[in-house]
């Protein structure tokens, strides 16, 4: 069943990891995609796989999501190419970890700029178009670290901010037929988590009721559901995809 046939989606951070898993899940349901990452050439393997597996229509774009112009260009490109914009997924994100007393201004500001301002710029750019359409789905990738996490003050603050932004957008845009929800992945197998030392990985796995690391595809499946017509009455919610890690 192609639940997203005829829909157009933007996915940021789509070159690898969770963003790539989300792109696959949306493409599998029939959506046309604007996929975005820092460098266009990094999107090539993703594009090739999408075309081979699902056929469909794809547009690849690059740029720093911390610049507001990037989001404006993404929305403009979606409109110019496909004529409408139905789904926006703010997934691009970084971590630059360190204990608070060692965090420099630059590292603090960069993580907030990419993870929080980037998501804000994308939401604002999409809102302009979706308000006119009186429809749309906005889905942001936060993290279970929104509750606070040792050595991740900048990252945790950015991800808590994403939840507050999501809920505010849900309040403002809900009356216009637009939903805005956040997904909080737990410990997912990507480049970001592969750098975690093996001892810390083992301790994390022991805390997860599912006793395993999650996959980008499992996050993608949750996004595809929230993007579908079946999820039309779900707004301003925060969905953990973590194998129960926060219990």
Q: How many helices (H) and strands (E) does the chain have?
A: 9, 7
Our finding on whether 64 is near ligand NAI (CB under 6 A) is: yes
H or E segment at 8? strand 8-11
List the interface residues with ligand NAI, window 186-215 (CB under 6 A). Answer: 187-188, 190-193
Q: Is 243 in the site for ligand NAI (CB under 6 A)?
A: no
Q: How far apart are CA 29 and CA 86, in angstroms?
A: 14
Stretch of 1-9, 14-22, 171-179, 232-240 lying at the interface with ligand NAI (CB under 6 A): 14-22
The answer for residues whose C-beta is within 8 angstroms of residue 52's C-beta and 6 or more apart is none
Between 94 and 157, whose beta carbon lies closer to ligand NAI? 94
Contacting ligand NAI (CB under 6 A), which of 60, 65, 156, 239? Answer: 65
Residues in the chain: 247
Place of tokens 């996490």: 149
Binding of residue 8 to ligand NAI (CB under 6 A): no
* 161 contributes a contact to ligand NAI by CB under 6 A: no
Q: Which region, judged by CB under 6 A, interacts with ligand NAI, from 97-105, 171-179, 185-193, 230-238?
A: 185-193
* CA pair distance 193, 201, nearest whole angstrom: 9
Alpha helices by DSSP H, 67-215: 68-82, 105-112, 118-133, 153-173, 191-194, 198-207
Interaction between residue 185 and ligand NAI (CB under 6 A): yes
Tell me: does residue 150 bind ligand NAI (CB under 6 A).
no
Interface residues toward ligand NAI, by CB under 6 A: 12-19, 37-38, 64-66, 91-94, 114, 141, 143, 185, 187-188, 190-193
């Amino acid at each position: 069943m192609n639940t997203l046939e005829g829909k157009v989606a933007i996915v940021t951070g789509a070159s690898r990891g969770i963003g790539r898993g989300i792109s696959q899940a949306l493409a599998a349901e029939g959506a046309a995609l604007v996929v975005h990452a820092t460098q266009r050439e990094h999107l090539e393997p993703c594009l090739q796989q999408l075309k081979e597996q699902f056929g469909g229509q794809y547009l690849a774009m690059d740029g720093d999501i911390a610049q507001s112009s990037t989001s404006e260009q993404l929305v403009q490109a979606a409109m110019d190419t496909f004529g409408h914009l139905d789904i926006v997924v703010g997934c691009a994100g970084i971590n630059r970890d360190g204990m608070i007393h060692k965090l420099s201004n630059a590292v603090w500001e960069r993580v907030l700029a990419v993870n929080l301002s980037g998501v804000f710029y994308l939401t604002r750019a999409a809102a302009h178009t979706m308000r006119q359409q009186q429809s749309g789905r906005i889905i942001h990738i936060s993290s279970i670290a929104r509750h606070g996490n040792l050595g991740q003050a900048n990252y945790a603050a950015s991800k808590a901010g994403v939840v507050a932004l999501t809920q505010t957008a849900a309040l403002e845009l809900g009356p216009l037929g637009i939903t805005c929800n956040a997904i909080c992945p737990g410990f997912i197998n990507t480049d970001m988590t592969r750098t975690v030392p093996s001892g810390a990985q083992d301790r994390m796995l022991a805390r997860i009721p599912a006793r395993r690391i999650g996959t980008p595809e499992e996050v993608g499946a949750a996004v595809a559901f929230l993007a579908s017509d079946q999820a039309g009455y779900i707004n301003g919610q925060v969905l953990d995809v973590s194998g129960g890690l926060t219990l």
